[in-house]
Chains A and B, each alone.
Chain A
Amino acid sequence: MKVLSIDTSNNVLGIGLLDGNMVLGEYISNIKKNHSVRVMPAIQTLMEECNVKPDELSKIVVAEGPGSYTGVRIGVTIAKTMAWTLKIPLSGVSSLQVAAASAGRYFNGFLAPFFDARRGQIYTGLYKFENKRLEVLKDDRLVMSADWGKTLNNLDSNILFMSNDLALHEEVLKQELGSKAIFAEITELNPRPAELGLLGRDKEAVDLHTFVPNYIRLAEAETNWLKAQQNNK
């Protein structure tokens, strides 16, 4: 059972290869460079290094967002197309879930991964490991980080935050949560493609053709259009 995992939803480019219960290899970079140019060569290099041919793959797992619209689309397009042409199943996993699992597998408390979404907003969700299973406590959403801090203040144990955008929101979260807020070390902030593969390995396959990224947000033009429709009523 060879699983290829692809995460291009944010600046981190992650490609992973699992073989049964083994991680064959991972490629991770955290640089602001063009995913469109780099993803396929990264997949090719990793697969060649690990001596895995495309038709030996038995599943593809992709990080489905939230994140950069363009970034998520590149990963999802490649994953859909490869799964379709190789006639193998595809699963999508929340990009936030991957971040949570990558830093919080042995943390005894709540996991709050996030990605900056500009103007004080973050994409985030709330997770917790229970018996080695990652449970979703609050669905992925777009929220002001200050409001998110207030929401989490009701929780009774520590909250681990993991994000490559920590610096942008750390102060606000500390202000709301005080010592309950724990911030992960930089070495654990890049979502790991092997975690993505593992989270998606046994997950139910999606309907390939209709599968799309989870953008969380409507396109701006749609939001404006809906507003205009309401005003006209």
Chain B
Amino acid sequence: MTKDQLIMGIETSCDETAVAIIKNGREILANIVASQIESHKRFGGVVPEIASRHHVEQITLVLEEALSQAKVDMKELDAIAVTAGPGLVGALLIGVNAAKALAFANNIPLIGVHHIAGHIYANRLVAEMKFPLLALVVSGGHTELVYMKEHGYFEVIGETRDDAAGEAYDKVARTLNLPYPGGPHIDRLAHEGKATIKLPRAWLEEGSYDFSFSGLKSAVINVVHNAQQRGGEIVPEELAASFQESVIDVLVTKTQKAVKEYGVKQVLLAGGVAANKGLRAKLSAVFADSDVELVIPPLSLCTDNAAMIAAAGSVMYEKGQRAGLTLNGDPGLEITIHNQNRG
């Protein structure tokens, strides 16, 4: 019998300090997330300097909790996987340097993981991946369609040209005076209203899998502005529903097209916006009667966490990919370059 593989994941790319330990790439032994959301609420968004300060406060506490919950000793770990980018540079540096210190002090291999690769691999904690597959990544910072023909191979076939979907959600929420973070509030309101307001969908040029949400965001702001000038009333539920319908329509239609063109066996939903009920429902409906398997992770694995980083790290570990002690946080790390460099 071969020994179990134990990987620690560390994630500090934004405002969550997270450490996880997973067994054999798919089984979560501990998944600790210390959220800073309460601290950033008063500023209406994540303040990078404050995020970095909180990470330093939390890091060893979260490490200790993860080890004790997993009942694993540091020395038993096969590797430490850490988010190397993209993200807030000052925040990334805390996780990266903690990981390097652990790797050196305990003589354990170190692996640098791309944050989006992590989001995609969160799915492997739910269902085994079947290649080729397509991942729809939707979060505050990302909107991407990623094609994977095998483990560790990431090809971005479509991405946003301006705002990420999550960003558009937050901005529309602000226009409606909803508290930060606004995404979940829009989702909730959308379910209470009907999509009665005509809003644009940016399909871009024929055959493109890219996205654009800035036009939609402006259209929403215009609707609100015009109503105010006319002294009219905006029904927030209707506006939220109309906005959400437009976003989901574009995301799901482009995903469907890509699924056909690339002939994939599986569709994975990834990223914080994967928590969106409207998006989950529409995707489930669209792929209900098809041969393509749709995987949607539970909410706790959609938002930033370290189990997903460990899951991606597990596959990279198997492939022999290692980082040295010069590993740095890279706020603009590219998933494809990451793939080539470490391949």
Which chain A residues have a beta carbon within 8 Å of chain B's beta carbons?
34, 36-41, 43-44, 54-55, 69-70, 73-74, 76-78, 80-82, 84-86, 208-210, 212-213, 215, 219-222, 225
Q: What sequence of 0s and 1s flags, for each residue 55-87 of chain B, a beta carbon within 8 Å of any chain A beta carbon?
A: 111011101100000000010000000000000
Kindly list chain B residues whose C-beta atoms are within 8 Å of the C-beta of A209. Answer: 60-61, 64
B108 nearest in chain A by CB position: A85
Nearest Cβ in chain B — how far from A64, in angstroms? 11
In the bound complex, residues from chain B placing their C-beta under 8 Å from that of A84 are 60, 63-64
- CB neighbours of B327 from chain A (8 A): 37
Q: Sample 19 A-B pairs with CB under 8 A, ordered by A number.
A: A37-B328, A38-B326, A40-B100, A41-B325, A69-B49, A77-B55, A77-B94, A77-B97, A78-B97, A78-B98, A78-B101, A81-B98, A82-B104, A208-B60, A209-B60, A213-B56, A219-B47, A219-B53, A225-B43
9 closest A-B pairs by beta carbon, nearest first, are A81-B101, A40-B325, A219-B49, A221-B47, A81-B98, A40-B100, A54-B105, A84-B60, A78-B101
Given contact pairs A84-B64, A209-B61, A219-B53, A40 touches B97 in the complex (Cβ within 8 A): yes
CB–CB B52/A73 < 8 A: yes
Contacting residues, chain A, for B60 (C-beta < 8 A):
80-81, 84, 208-209
Tell me which residues across on chain A come within 8 A of B133, comparing CB atoms: none
Contact partners of B102 in chain A: CB under 8 A: 81, 85
Residue interface bits B86-130, CB-to-A below 8 A is 1, else 0: 000010011011101110111100000000000000000000000
B contact residues around A85 at 8 Å (CB) = 63, 74, 101-102, 105-106
Nearest residue (CB) in B for A70 is: B90
Known contacts A73-B56, A77-B101, A212-B57; is A36 also within 8 Å of B47 by CB? no
Known: A40-B325, A210-B57, A219-B47. A82 touches B97 (CB 8 A): no
Supposing A77-B59, A221-B47 touch, asked if A82 and B326 sit within 8 A by C-beta, the answer is no
A81-B59 contact, Cβ under 8 Å, with A34-B328, A40-B325, A54-B105: yes
B83 to chain A, nearest CB (A): 14
Q: Which residues of A contact B43 (CB under 8 A)?
A: 221, 225
One of A44, A86, A221 near B49 (C-beta < 8 A): A221
Q: Is the interface of B mostly helix, strand, loop or mixed?
A: helix
Q: Assess whether B101 is in contact with A82, with CB atoms less than 8 Å apart.
A: yes
- Of chain B, the residue at the smallest CB distance from A53 is B107
| 10 further contact pairs, Cβ within 8 A, besides A73-B52, A73-B56 | A44-B104, A54-B104, A54-B105, A54-B106, A74-B93, A78-B98, A81-B97, A81-B102, A209-B64, A225-B42
> Chain B CB within 10 Å — which of A39, A69, A219 has the most?
A219
Least distance between A151 CB and chain B CB atoms (Å): 29
Minimum C-beta distance from B36 to chain A (A): 13
Decide: A39 near B50, CB < 8 A? Known: A85-B74, A208-B60: no
Q: Does B329 contact A (CB under 8 A)?
A: yes
Distance (Å) between the CB of B91 and the closest chain A CB?
10
Complex CA–CA separation, A226 to B105 (angstroms): 41
- Residues of B near A219 (CB, < 8 A) are 47, 49-50, 53
The CA-CA distance from A86 to B56 in the complex, in Å, is 18
B53 to chain A, nearest CB (A): 7
In the assembly, what is the distance between CA of A86 and CA of B102, in Å?
9
Q: Which residues of A contact B57 (CB under 8 A)?
A: 210, 212
Are A81 and B96 in touch, CB under 8 angstroms? no
Q: Which residue of A lies closest to B42 (CB)?
A: A225
Instruction: Determine how close the nearest CB of chain B comes to the CB of A53; give it in whole angstroms.
Output: 9
Most buried by B among A43, A80, A212: A80
Residues of B within 8 A of A225 (CB): 42-43
Task: State which residues 6-57 of B face A: CB under 8 Å.
Answer: 42-43, 47, 49-50, 52-53, 55-57
Instruction: Look across to chain A and name the residue whose beta carbon is closest to the beta carbon of B325.
Output: A40
Bound CA span A38–B90, Å: 16
In the complex, what distance in Å separates the CA atom of A70 from the CA atom of B92?
11
Q: What distance in Å separates the Cβ of A57 from its nearest Cβ neighbour in chain B?
A: 9
Which residue of A38, A41, A70, A80 contacts B52 across the interface (Cβ within 8 Å)? Answer: A70
List residues of chain A with CB within 8 A of the CB of B329: 36
Q: How far is the CA of A10 from the CA of B98 in the complex (A)?
A: 19
